Every structure is written in C-alpha cells, then in structure tokens.
Amino acid sequence: DVVMTQSPLSLPVTLGQPASISCRSSQSLLYSDGNTYLSWFQQRPGRSPRRLIYKVSKRDSGVPDRFSGSGSGTDFTLKISRVEAEDVGVYYCMQGIQWPRTFGQGTKLEIK
C-alpha cells in the first residue's frame, strides 16, 4: 500500500499568518497518463470532507486563492497564505494512483 505521511499533525497558527502542511508518499504518485494524483481535503468540525486541491495544484471552484498546493513525485505541500478563522479543521492528503486509496493521518489546524 502507498503510505501517506503528513506533518505536522497539529498546527497552531496565529490569524493572518501563513501555514504549511507537508505530505509525503511512500511511492511516486505520477501516473502513466502524466498526471499526479494527490489531493487535499479540508474537514471543518462536524462537517463532511471538502476537496480543496486535486492533481497537486488545481484549486477547486470556490476555494479561496489563499490555498495553494505544490510538489511532485513523493513530496507535496499545502499552503495557506494567511490563515482565517474559517480555516480551522483537519486537513488530509490522499493518493489516487494505487489501490487501495490511502489518506494521510490528518493535520489539525487551530488558531493560536
């Protein structure tokens, strides 16, 4: 199985400050079609997961542009340029290249 490792697992951030979450996969997520299937999800307290980013850096419709994704191969990053109160929640990365699909452990973002 592809193991997805996130860090940090807890992320206290001051409002207005940047935040960064790392996700590393045990195998390259580059598929034969040229796409890299790494997605980021946000789960606010008591809510369903919401996809923010797919294929490493493609932002979903309605996602604020303060969220950005980057990386390649096995190393990926989700960045929030200026954290707002509504960003509180747990963030997960997920690989979509191999079965079984696997998620990172989750990073809990809180306001300091």
Partner 1 sequence: EVQLLESGGGLLQPGGSLRLSCAASGFSFSTNDMSWVRQAPGKGLEWVSSISATGDKTFYADSVKGRFSISRDNSKNTLHLQMNSLRAEDTALYYCARGTSNPGDWGQGTLVTVSS
Tell me which residues touch partner 1 (CB under 8 A). 37, 39, 41, 43, 48-51, 54-55, 60, 90, 92, 94, 96-97, 99-106
Amino acid letter, residue 20:
S
Residue 49 vs 66, nearer CB to partner 1: 49
What is the nearest approach in angstroms of partner 1 to the Cβ of residue 41? 7
* CA neighbor of 36 nearest in space, from 88, 71, 82: 71
Yes or no: say if 71 and 22 are a contact pair by the CB < 8 Å rule.
no
What is the nearest approach in angstroms of partner 1 to the Cβ of residue 17? 25
**E-only strand ranges, the chain:** 4-7, 10-13, 19-25, 38-43, 50-54, 58-59, 67-72, 75-80, 89-95, 102-103, 107-111
Residue 17 vs 26, nearer CB to partner 1: 26
What is the nearest approach in angstroms of partner 1 to the Cβ of residue 16? 28
Residue 48 vs 65, nearer CB to partner 1: 48
* CA neighbor of 50 nearest in space, from 64, 36, 37, 34: 64
Residue 25 vs 39, nearer CB to partner 1: 39
What is the nearest approach in angstroms of partner 1 to the Cβ of residue 81? 23
